[in-house]
Amino acid sequence: MPEKIPVHQYDPGKGEPSASDLYAKRRKIQPRSISGAFEHWRNFGVWLILGLYFSVAWINYHGRQALLFDLPNRHFYVFGWTFWPQDFILLSWLLIISAFTLFAVTVFAGRVWCGYACPQTVWTKLFLHIEKWTEGDRNARMRLDKAPLTLNKALRRTTKHLGWVVVSLLTGLTFIGYFDPIRSLWSELKASQWNEAEVFWMFLFAATTYLNAGWLREQVCMYMCPYGRFQSVMFDRDTLMVSYDHARGEPRGSRRRDADPKAAQLGDCIDCELCVQVCPTGIDIRNGLQFECIACAACIDACDSVMEQMGYAKGLVRYTTENALEHGHPIHILRPRLIGYSLMILFMATLFIYTLSTRNPMGLDVIRDRNALYRESSEGLIENSYILNVMNKSQDPEDLEIHVQGMPPGSIMQGTQHLHLLSGELRTVTETLEEEPEKLHHTEMSIDFHVNETGKPGVAVDAASRFFAPAADR
């Protein structure tokens, strides 16, 4: 029979019944510094990402900023390419490839993105370096938290927050520098000539950085980021994850370094809790996989250092799979879901690179004059008017020629037929086609406007339109 919900008798004479508090005050986490192979990789990734973020905006390419999203002018420069709003399908394509890559990485090795490359992790790590430099390591920071306010404490805290503010402001300045040329921003900053929008976005991004990396930290990963919540859907029993070998480590307990754990009926875990102290989210990996774990492997480095000191084999905490941990199966990397994701990524990436490499450096849009299907000129010719938007998407100035195809021989095109467009320039021109009524045998004809580089007919772009004529007996 199913268990019954326990019923407690309420006695009015003994006061109100106790209630459980559903709110738990945040426990401040002070992660301990650790050294090891995985920590070296994390530091390498952190400094690489920070270096790229702060430096790429200053790189020039062909006399302009190499990576610039010029929203007012609707030009998006990515080194050798110039993109327009019409090319946003490529951005959507790139985002889909990135999403599938994240899925594949998660199926293979869990939340390694969170532990090594997520901006929240990267900037939090930088802020922790500043905190360690100003306030000391974990124990020193914990003592400082409990100590009364003194001049020494005030100076250390002030220096720490000044460091955080400087990094946050530089982060905000660099961020808007990807949308407004950063060299101009820097010159305007020194001349105090910033406009309200630039000031607003820089301080908004700086405040977000200061709040997330300095104060919220693990709270962002635990409560604000959706990835940690749905990651388990992408896991399987062969996903690599940071795990504690329960069979080897239990029962845990302290002992002398030269003690025999088997004689004491103990496992390899000495219950030093170093794995908990180094965890940036404050969890105990020995309790099993938890959604707060960001797979940073700090606990692996900590445990391996203890195992080495005790003379035990490393790997009590390690990257492994559920099948390998529970049943001793070998780690199985190639499996249907991971192969499917990988093939899909390869297919989409190949198409994306091919589309990008064969992308036409010119753009052409044709709009007919909607006020009239046709007009009759004073010479008795039938006229149709068109508005052409010609774009030069290349990085160099171009000399272009405009032709029309599909009209009867001898037709006349009135308007600009030769253009000189600068890099990234959009030019709007008006073209009028004229033809003698006797040569028009249909009331509607399909035509094509053809734009090519002068002397290079193979580099061209076409746009279809129609030519209308009056209905008459011919």
Count the domains in the chain: 2
Q: Give the residue among 43, 5, 218 at the shortest CA–CA distance from 124.
A: 218
Residue 23 backbone class (left: φ over 0; alpha: ψ -120 to 50; beta: rest): beta
Are 321 and 372 in the same domain? no
Segment among 1-10, 268-277, 364-373 with least mean pLDDT: 1-10
Q: Which residues contact 414 (CB under 8 A, 6 or more apart)?
A: 431, 432, 433, 434
Segment among 152-156, 166-170, 209-213, 400-404 with least mean pLDDT: 400-404
**% of the chain beyond a pLDDT of 70:** 94
Answer with the one of 308, 327, 346 that is the final residue of a domain: 327
Domain range for 276 is 236-327
Residue 207: per-residue pLDDT: 97
Which tokens go with 360? 């036409």
Residue 234: per-residue pLDDT: 84
**Domain for residue 102, yes or no?**
no
Per the listing, tokens 């004479």 go with 13
Inter-CA distances, 182 with 70, 77, 171, 177, Å:
12, 14, 12, 4
CB 33 within 8 Å of CB 141: no
| CA 470 – CA 453 distance, rounded (Å) | 35
Residue 16: per-residue pLDDT: 53
Top-confidence residue, 64 or 155: 155
Residue 400: per-residue pLDDT: 92
What is the greatest pairwise CA distance in the chain? 113
- Mean per-residue pLDDT for 127-151? 95
**Domain for residue 413, yes or no?**
yes
Where b means 16+ CB within 10 Å and e means fewer, 58-77 reads: eeeeeeebebbebeeeebbb
pLDDT tens column, 214-253: 999 999 998 888 887 777 778 888 999 999 999 999 999 9
Residue 120: per-residue pLDDT: 96
pLDDT tens column, 384-438: 999 999 988 887 888 999 999 999 888 889 888 899 998 878 899 999 999 998 8
Are 322 and 367 in the same domain? no
Top-confidence residue, 457 or 71: 71
Are 318 and 406 in the same domain? no
**Domain for residue 40, yes or no?**
no
Whether pLDDT at 213 is above 90: yes
Answer with the one of 277, 306, 327 that is the final residue of a domain: 327
Is residue 461 classed as helix, strand or coil in its secondary structure?
strand
Are 388 and 319 in the same domain? no
Residue 23: per-residue pLDDT: 57
Tell me the CATH number at 405.
Answer: 2.60.40.10
Top-confidence residue, 473 or 382: 382
| CA 91 – CA 78 distance, rounded (Å) | 12
Are 308 and 265 in the same domain? yes
- Mean per-residue pLDDT for 25-46? 92
Angle 393-394-398 from CA coordinates, rounded to 5°: 100
pLDDT band at 11 (very low <50, low <70, confident <90, very high): low
**Domain for residue 33, yes or no?**
no
**Domain for residue 351, yes or no?**
no
Residue 362: per-residue pLDDT: 87
Residue 80: per-residue pLDDT: 79
**Domain for residue 377, yes or no?**
yes
| CA 32 – CA 298 distance, rounded (Å) | 10
- Mean per-residue pLDDT for 2-19? 51
Are 263 and 322 in the same domain? yes
Residue 474: per-residue pLDDT: 46
Are 299 and 388 in the same domain? no
pLDDT tens column, 83-92: 888 788 888 8
Answer with the one of 304, 327, 350 that is the final residue of a domain: 327
Residue 1: per-residue pLDDT: 45
**Domain for residue 302, yes or no?**
yes
pLDDT tens column, 263-283: 889 999 999 999 999 999 999
Residue 14: per-residue pLDDT: 52
**Domain for residue 286, yes or no?**
yes
